């Protein structure tokens, strides 16, 4: 299962780690912020890592081993608690993407259906039922209108639990 993890990088090698992880087709995220610096007597705007020495990566540890990730150039190791890599909640990553202006979250949200579109539920107890998309319910959920026992009911579903017809 794909999860986000926090990776500890070697000093000033975040960019190298990002490049090598991208070469391995591993999704990465290194939040950047604009910082004013005084360099040679002039004020300069620079993009720097929000968390220097760390980056987030999304991987399935059943398919990609921790040893492979740890031996990637620029990476020291994955941050662990009790010997197991720490899973970073998707909501935190999405919130950081929104706050730092990352475009990927907007692309994911643009794939959502419009109000009134018919969808089919793929997972859960209502799998196979048709519904009508109502509105987004946060970044990762949506409100759908279901017809149950001849009455319409609104329910919240994860964006991965349904698809457009």
Q: Report the alpha-carbon distance of residue 75 to residue 24 in Å, rounded.
A: 13
Mean of pLDDT over the chain: 86
Q: Categorize the per-residue pLDDT at 103 as very low, low, confident or very high, splitting at 50, 70 and 90.
A: low
Q: Report the alpha-carbon distance of residue 3 to residue 29 in Å, rounded.
A: 13
The widest CA-to-CA distance across the chain, in whole angstroms, is 73
For domain 2-159, give the fold: Alpha-Beta Plaits (3.30.70)
Q: Report the alpha-carbon distance of residue 86 to residue 88 in Å, rounded.
A: 6
Q: Report the alpha-carbon distance of residue 72 to residue 19 in Å, rounded.
A: 10
Who's near 111: CB < 8 A, 6+ residues apart?
A: none
Q: Look at 134 and 100; give whichever has higher pLDDT.
A: 134
What's the predicted TM-score (pTM) here?
0.62
8 has pLDDT over 80: yes
Q: Hey, where are the domains in the chain?
A: 2-159
Tell me the CB-side half-sphere exposure of residue 80, using CA atoms within 13 A: 9
pLDDT tens, residue by residue, 12-61:
899 999 999 999 999 999 988 888 888 888 888 888 888 999 999 999 99
Q: Which of 18-32, 121-135, 138-152 has the lowest mean pLDDT?
A: 138-152
pLDDT tens, residue by residue, 66-92:
888 888 999 999 999 988 999 999 888
Q: What is the pLDDT of residue 53?
A: 93
Output the CA torsion sign for 20, 23, 25, 27: positive
Would you call 145 helix, strand, or coil by DSSP? Answer: strand
Would you call 129 helix, strand, or coil by DSSP? Answer: coil
């Amino acid at each position: 299962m794909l999860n986000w993890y926090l990776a500890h990088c070697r000093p000033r090698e975040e960019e190298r780690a990002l490049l090598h992880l991208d070469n391995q087709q591993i999704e990465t995220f290194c939040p950047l912020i604009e910082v004013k610096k005084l360099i040679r007597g002039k004020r300069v705007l620079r993009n720097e890592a929000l968390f220097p020495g760390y980056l987030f990566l999304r991987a399935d540890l059943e398919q990609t081993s921790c040893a492979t990730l740890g031996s990637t150039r620029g990476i020291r190791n994955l941050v662990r608690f009790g010997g197991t890599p720490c899973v970073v909640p998707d909501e935190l990553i999405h919130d950081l993407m929104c706050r730092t202006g990352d475009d990927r979250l907007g692309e994911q949200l643009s794939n959502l259906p419009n109000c009134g579109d018919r969808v089919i539920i793929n997972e859960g107890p209502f799998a196979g039922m048709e519904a009508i998309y109502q509105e987004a319910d946060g970044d990762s959920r949506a409100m759908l209108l279901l017809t149950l026992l001849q009455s319409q009911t609104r329910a919240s579903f994860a964006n991965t639990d349904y698809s457009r017809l």
